Amino acid sequence: MLFARFASQRLPYVTTIIILVCMLLSCVGGRNLAFAQQSEIAIVLPKKTSQVSEGDVQYARSVAKRFNRMLNGIGLTAVTLEETSLSEAQLKSRRLVILPLNPVIAPKTASLLKSFVANGGKLFVTYTLPDTVAPLLGLRQTDWLKQEAPGHFASIQLNAPDILDMPVSIRQASWNITVAEPTTPDTKIIGYWHNANGESTGLPALSVGKSGVFFSHIFLPDDIQRKMQMFAALLGHLVPEFRRTFAEQAIAAMTTIGHTKDFTELKQFVQQSDVPEANEALKTGADLMKRARTEYDTEAYNTAITVARASRAEFSKAYFLSHISVETEGRAVWNHSGLGAYPGDWERSAKELASAGVNIILPNMAWAGVAHYPSKILPQSKTFTQYGDQIAQCVEAAHKHGLEVHVWKITWNLEGAPKEFVEKIRAEGRTQVSATGQALNWLCPSHPKNVRLELESSLEIVANYDVDGIHLDYIRYPGSHACYCEGCRQRFVLATRLQIDKWPAAVLPKTGTHSEKYTEWRGQQITRLVRLLHKRLREADPTIKISAAVFGWYPGCITTIGQDWIAWAKAGYVDFVCPMNYTESTDYFKELLVNQLALMPKDVAIYPGIGATASNSLLTPDAVVEQIYLSRNLGASGWTIFDYSLDISETVLPAFTMGITKRKAKPSH
């Protein structure tokens, strides 16, 4: 295995990690010959039936998008087809069909897939395994299992010596799996699930046969670079001709590092930094670059891929070493789990973050209906039950290592709340209702009791813990489809004194007679909570800082989700904002941030959110450093990384410590 080979050579840890995470990186621009392959892969989306919900269909679409992005990252593209219109002609030119989440396969589709496989086509199936598809892969489903506890399905150990370039393991925090066993000698289980302690569960994760692959859950975005390596290895095994494309992509990606888009720009940037170690890495990368192209020209594609990755790793190292540290900026990380990167060990997380130059941690400790601490107002979470008071543990460790703690408080959204709590709230008419009358698991922002609940739960944190701030998230509506409950109708009429004959038709976006008034009123409900939180929190602690995670595109977020965060800043309700500028596009990131900085009052800081591991933004370490570099150059006061986890710990933080946040050596006396 490539990783084992590098590790056996006893390269420095950081260099080894860089080589690993630089595998199969997406290429923006440069030579990408994937167009020639675009007709050879199809992703088939399920259709809505009595057994397949609209939610399943939409989730399948999101999984399909992730597959497309992974394919793009290794030099391939796919056409997305609807099962409802699938035909023999559409499959005729394909080499591979991906079924991302297809619980039920119609008889006509099953017949088409059977014929497709009989003619040499390959299948790549994830999570659901219909009875008509399983035999085509030499499998039989035996069970469907939920995790027994968090971390039950944490990683996959792989053993596939016959599959070129297969990693030895990948991380994936799955919560349930489909269990299948081989029915023919040709189908082999090559990966088993392991728990968070590294112990095997004995449950199969990945099976490979002559006709294709089955993965027992969907592909999640964690450990994405190694997952892309696994994905490419499997596709290259099924369709060996793809390996040439992988080599072309790896070579094209060698010199697209951060904000430098070719070798000349990279060389100029590195030489200007005048860091000897960076220049040395640049030279090593250049030598490997020449060798990779030579290997490709001799059709040694697998060797070309390996050498091209090693070249890019050296170029990335040169890039990281060439950046300088700015000590005065805000350097924040969101932590969605509320547990740090190492559950039960905030000391380790805080020490690691401080060593990497981070100075603010935004840990997600409370939603609208659940808390990771002994709250007397919100129900206590399973996280609290298993690991104890997370705010207390986080604050103690963070302050010891010089980190500020701004508790990430999710408002309105009842995700994760106990069923009985949600049912009680709904029975009181306090949850949101969509335009079509669907009950939503969100608190209605216009209901006085919900406003009081949000105020009291935030005040409880400040009263009981030495936190540096409260960081608001989901401080908005879920979308323009909500809220249209009866309480909203009554409160809107009372506030505006309008005559509403048809509800909600009269206030629906674009079409409603009073849509503009209702849009304005919705925004006022959200702003009211921000204003009250500012007032009450500052009364409780005049030094407390208030911040918010906000949608990046302004003013569009006002009309869609009622979030007027520029108004909050101008009124002095927030000390800093973290626009969620999650994108892999450099141009779009710049467009968002330039717009935000132009609108924001100068005394309110912007720490743009960088989606290192966000579901719609899977940035490589050099791309993360690039967006920090751009943020500084455009005038932002700092930056915020989503989402502190093992992924960030293993890939991004080592890159930071080389230059962009490198601490200056203390003078000797």
Taking only the tens place, the pLDDT of each residue in 56-90 is: 999 999 999 999 999 999 999 999 999 999 999 99
Tell me: the pLDDT tens digits for 481-507?
Answer: 999 999 999 999 999 999 999 999 999
Which domain does 530 fall in, by range?
Answer: 330-429+467-477+525-658
Q: Is residue 408, in this structure, part of any structural domain at all? A: yes
pLDDT at 327: 84
Eight-state DSSP code of residue 37: G
Secondary structure string (H, E, C) spanning 435-462: CCCCEEEEECCCCHHHHHHHHHHHHHHH
- Per-residue confidence band for 616, with pLDDT thresholds at 50, 70 and 90: low
CA dihedral sign, ordered 509, 515, 519, 524: negative
At 58, which CATH number? Answer: 3.40.50.880
The residue among 263, 290, 321 that closes a domain is 321
**Token match 């400790």: residue?**
365
Mean pLDDT of 442-447: 98
Which H or E element spans position 316? helix 301-321
For residues 375 and 400, the answer to whether their CB atoms sit within 8 Å is no
For residues 442 and 403, the answer to whether their CB atoms sit within 8 Å is no
Q: Is residue 28, in this structure, part of any structural domain at all? A: no
Contacts of 46 (CB under 8 A, 6+ apart): 52, 56, 57, 60, 83, 101, 102, 103, 104
Q: Are residues 233 and 350 in the same domain?
A: no
Q: Are residues 271 and 233 in the same domain?
A: no
Percent of the chain's residues with pLDDT above 70: 93
Tell me: the pLDDT tens digits for 220-279?
Answer: 988 988 999 999 999 999 999 999 999 999 999 999 999 999 999 999 999 999 999 999
Q: Are residues 265 and 234 in the same domain?
A: no
3-state secondary structure of 41: strand
Alpha-carbon span 370 to 182, nearest angstrom: 42
Percent of the chain's residues with pLDDT above 90: 89
- Per-residue confidence band for 614, with pLDDT thresholds at 50, 70 and 90: confident
Q: Are residues 209 and 298 in the same domain?
A: no
Q: Are residues 166 and 309 in the same domain?
A: no
Does pLDDT of 9 surpass 90?
no
592 residue type, one letter: L
Eight-state DSSP code of residue 260: B
For residues 527 and 451, the answer to whether their CB atoms sit within 8 Å is no
Q: Are residues 297 and 232 in the same domain?
A: no
Does pLDDT of 26 surpass 70?
no
In angstroms and rounded to an integer, the radius of gyration of the C-alpha atoms of the chain is 26
CA dihedral 213, 219, 223, 229 (to 10 degrees): 30
What letters, b where the CB count within 10 A reaches 16 and e where it falls short, cover 589-626? bbebbeebbeebeeebbbbbbbbbbbeebbbbbbbbbb
549: closest CA among 633, 628, 642?
Answer: 642
Cα three-residue angle 545-550-555, rounded to 5 degrees: 125
- Per-residue confidence band for 538, with pLDDT thresholds at 50, 70 and 90: very high
pLDDT at 662: 87
Is-cis flag, bond preceding 444, omega within 30? no
pLDDT at 463: 98
Contacts of 401 (CB under 8 A, 6+ apart): 350, 351, 353, 354
**Token match 């927030």: residue?**
574
Tell me: the pLDDT tens digits for 354-364?
Answer: 999 999 999 99
Residue 80 is encoded by which pair of tokens? Answer: 């997305």
- Per-residue confidence band for 430, with pLDDT thresholds at 50, 70 and 90: very high
Is-cis flag, bond preceding 555, omega within 30? yes
* Cα→Cα distances 658→277, 654, 662, Å: 10, 7, 6
Residue 440 is encoded by which pair of tokens? Answer: 């939503």
Q: Is residue 218, in this structure, part of any structural domain at all? A: yes
Residue 15 is encoded by which pair of tokens? Answer: 């260099």
Tell me: the pLDDT tens digits for 202-213?
Answer: 999 999 999 999
Tell me: the pLDDT tens digits for 518-528?
Answer: 999 999 999 99
Which residues make beta-bridge pairs with 260? 257
Does pLDDT of 188 surpass 90?
yes
Residue 322 is encoded by which pair of tokens? Answer: 């060439």
Angle of the 224-238 helix axis to the 242-253 helix axis, nearest 10 = 150
Contacts of 146 (CB under 8 A, 6+ apart): 175, 176
Tell me: the pLDDT tens digits for 296-349?
Answer: 999 999 999 999 999 999 999 999 999 999 989 999 999 999 999 999 999 999
Q: Are residues 235 and 289 in the same domain?
A: no
- Per-residue confidence band for 664, with pLDDT thresholds at 50, 70 and 90: low
Q: Are residues 224 and 260 in the same domain?
A: no
478 residue type, one letter: P
User: Of the ranges 16-30, 459-473, 540-554, 649-663, which one carries the lowest mean pLDDT score?
Assistant: 16-30
Q: Are residues 214 and 280 in the same domain?
A: no
Does pLDDT of 669 surpass 60?
no
Contacts of 572 (CB under 8 A, 6+ apart): 534, 604
Overall pTM > 0.85: yes
- Per-residue confidence band for 615, with pLDDT thresholds at 50, 70 and 90: confident
Tell me: the pLDDT tens digits for 110-169?
Answer: 999 999 999 999 999 999 999 999 999 999 999 999 999 888 999 999 999 999 999 999
268: closest CA among 330, 319, 195, 302?
Answer: 319
Longest Cα–Cα distance in the chain: 80
Alpha-carbon span 362 to 472, nearest angstrom: 10
pLDDT at 39: 72
Mean pLDDT of 29-48: 66
pLDDT at 333: 98
* Cα→Cα distances 465→458, 544, 593, Å: 11, 11, 33
Q: Is residue 504, in this structure, part of any structural domain at all? A: no
pLDDT at 52: 87
- Per-residue confidence band for 31, with pLDDT thresholds at 50, 70 and 90: very low
The residue among 189, 208, 240 that closes a domain is 240
**Token match 């919100």: residue?**
378
Does pLDDT of 32 surpass 80?
no
3-state secondary structure of 614: strand
Count structural domains, the chain.
3
Q: Are residues 275 and 420 in the same domain?
A: no
Residue 508 is encoded by which pair of tokens? Answer: 């629906």
For residues 318 and 270, the answer to whether their CB atoms sit within 8 Å is yes
Does pLDDT of 53 surpass 50?
yes
Measure CA of the first residue to CA of the last residue in the chain; give whole Å.
47
Alpha-carbon span 78 to 65, nearest angstrom: 10
176 residue type, one letter: N
Q: Is residue 130, in this structure, part of any structural domain at all? A: yes
Alpha-carbon span 64 to 43, nearest angstrom: 7
Alpha-carbon span 493 to 484, nearest angstrom: 12
Alpha-carbon span 117 to 348, nearest angstrom: 50
Eight-state DSSP code of residue 617: B
The residue among 293, 321, 349 that closes a domain is 321
User: Of the ranges 112-121, 372-381, 610-619, which one carries the lowest mean pLDDT score?
Assistant: 610-619
Average pLDDT score over the chain: 92
Q: Is residue 453, in this structure, part of any structural domain at all? A: no
Q: Is residue 460, in this structure, part of any structural domain at all? A: no
Q: Are residues 367 and 259 in the same domain?
A: no
Alpha-carbon span 658 to 481, nearest angstrom: 46
Alpha-carbon span 412 to 441, nearest angstrom: 9
Q: Are residues 317 and 335 in the same domain?
A: no
Residue 304 is encoded by which pair of tokens? Answer: 């070309």
Task: Give Cα 538 to chain centroid, integer Å.
Answer: 33
At 548, which CATH number? Answer: 3.20.20.80
Does pLDDT of 11 surpass 50?
no
Q: Is residue 21, in this structure, part of any structural domain at all? A: no
Does pLDDT of 19 surpass 90?
no
Residue 542 is encoded by which pair of tokens? Answer: 């005049």
pLDDT at 618: 73
Task: Give Cα 23 to chain centroid, integer Å.
Answer: 18
Pairing of strands 153-158, 188-194: antiparallel
Alpha-carbon span 572 to 570, nearest angstrom: 5
Alpha-carbon span 79 to 1, nearest angstrom: 32
Task: Give Cα 293 to chain centroid, integer Å.
Answer: 33
Tell me: the pLDDT tens digits for 645-655?
Answer: 999 999 999 99
471: closest CA among 601, 362, 612, 596?
Answer: 362
